[in-house]
Structure 1
Amino acid sequence: MLSVKDLHAFYGKSHVLRGVNMEIMPGEVIALLGRNGVGRSTTAKAIMGEVAPKGEITFKGKPIAGLESHQIARMGLGYVPESRDIFPTMTVRQNLVLGVKDMKNPGKYSIDQMLDMFPNLRARADNPAGVLSGGEKQMLTMCRTLMGDPELIIIDEPTEGLAPKIVQQIGDTIAEIAKTGVAILLVEQKLSIALRIANRVYVMGHGEIVYGGTPAEFATRDDVKKEWLEV
């Protein structure tokens, strides 16, 4: 479904991505692990066109490297950024409506389904989104992305800065999303969440993929954890 080959990206003269290679199949959940600063979020942004990519990126067999972000999104690739971008003065319900690509042909998710999935959001559906907690804003961002009926979602650091109870809830929600058949690229540092829901794991280091395997295989690789993940 998504193929990334020899992907490079720069911030000014800083060479951040140095030949990233990865594959994601339909319905698959991939966890992208690594320390802060190794290029995981830049990989997500390069795929979505928010950072200029150099290399080959194909989605459903079509090249997307160099396209604008809105063009990539309309092809069926959703993105939940680490910044949890919401429109604070608009209501929760209005934020969800903004995620719909075509009001005449809505996708498989309705606003009521999203609010059922997140009772916290239903209770505040008509309140300004700016009053939500950090966890609720994360939920809203994921729901808004699902309203666009994506076939693959890139979720960047969804549990960053959240309380343990909310972290568990976010993990459960991502697992439920995966059950609907949506493929997921999960950029995450918390191994407990990533390994619980992932089909495969990629580990990044120094701007490239340094390991790939199943969670079971990864569990036996203490050498990989020590060199590329432990602080």
Structure 2
Amino acid sequence: MLEVTDLHAYYGKSHILQGVDFKVQEGEIVALLGRNGVGRSTTCKAVMGEVPPRGSVKFRGKELAGKPSYEVAKAGIGYVPENRDIFPGLTTKQNLTLGLKPGQKDGQGRWSMDMMFDAFPNLRERADVDAAVLSGGEKQMLTVCRSLMGDPDFVMIDEPTEGLAPKIVEQVGDMLEMIAKRGVSILLVEQKLTIALRIATRVYVMGHGRMVFEGTPEELTANEAIRKEWLEV
């Protein structure tokens, strides 16, 4: 589905991504792990066109590298950034409506507002409340649901459990598994090994702007050297 080859990205003169290669297949949840500052979020932004990429980003065989973000989104890629960019002065319903593509009506894709509310009853209870008053977990669910309203085939989700209580972390994990079961592939950028290893099909570990490990969750669990060098504090 998504094939990234020799991806480079820069912030000014800083060479952040230094030849990143990875793939995400249909129906997979792929976890991208690594310490802060190694380039995981930049990888998502480069795929999405928010950071100018050098290299190849192919989605279902179509080259997207260098395309503007709106064309990447139209191709079927969703993106949930780590800073939970909601519109605080708009209601939960209004935020979800903004996730629809131009010309798309609610319910035309795999997801509808009612389905979002059925999956996350907390959001239904706060449907007409300004998003500013939502809890951290509710805001995270809202940002994911807003992306799904555009009916992407593949979604990149950056640090969805950061700052959340353990119970909410489990809910987010269940939510991601539910999304994958409905045919949406996921690239999950995550710090928490526990949740990533529980739900991921495959795992990549990033260090110093390139991939240093690829394998199954079981293979990463068994590889103490990789975990000590690139993940553990």
Name the counterpart of 1:17.
Answer: 17
RMSD: 0.9
Using the TM superposition, give the Cα deviation of residue 106 of structure 1 relative to its aligned residue in structure 2, in angstroms: 2.1
Contact 1:78 1:146 in 2 (8 A): yes
Q: Secondary structure at the match of 1:125?
A: coil
Aligned length: 231
Deviations 1:50-96 (A, max 9, x none): 10101111111000011111110011000000011111111100111
Query: What is the aligned partner in structure 2 of residue 73 from structure 1?
Result: 73
Whole-Å separation in 1 of the counterparts to 2:16 and 2:155: 23
Q: What percent of counterpart residues are identical? A: 65
Task: Name 1:2's counterpart in structure 2.
Answer: 2
Do residues 45 (structure 1) and 29 (structure 2) align?
no
- Report the Cα offset of residue 172 of structure 1: 1.0
Question: Does structure 2 conserve the Cα–Cα contact (< 8 Å) formed by 1:31 and 1:185?
Answer: yes
Q: Aligned residue for 2:55? A: 55
Aligned partner of residue 142 in structure 2, secondary structure: helix
Q: 1:171 aligns with which of 145, 170, 173?
A: 173
Cα distance in 2 for partners of 1:190, 1:178 equals 19
Normalising by structure 2, we get a TM-score of: 0.97
* Equivalent position of 2:151 in the other structure: 149
Task: Determine the C-alpha separation between the residues in 1 that align with 2:135 and 2:68.
Answer: 31
Letter in 1 for 2:95: N
Residue 88 of structure 1 aligns with which residue? 88
- Partner SS, residue 49 of structure 2: coil
Counterpart amino acid of 1:103? Q
CA–CA separation in structure 1 for the residues paired with 2:143 and 2:127? 14
Aligned to 1:220: 222
Residue 192 of structure 2 aligns with which residue? 190
Return 4-13 or 93-102, whichever deviates more. Answer: 93-102
CA distance in 1, matches of 2:197, 2:124: 30
Give the residue type in structure 2 aligned to 1:24: V
Which contiguous aligned blocks of 4+ residues in structure 1 show a shift greater than 4 angstroms?
Answer: none
Q: 1:207 aligns with which of 204, 209, 217?
A: 209
Is 1:100–1:106's contact at 8 Å kept on the other side of the alignment? no
The aligned residue for residue 140 of structure 1 is: 142
* Residue equivalent to 2:129: 127
Provide the C-alpha distance between the structure 1 equivalents of 2:84 and 2:154, rounded to a whole number of angstroms.
Answer: 18
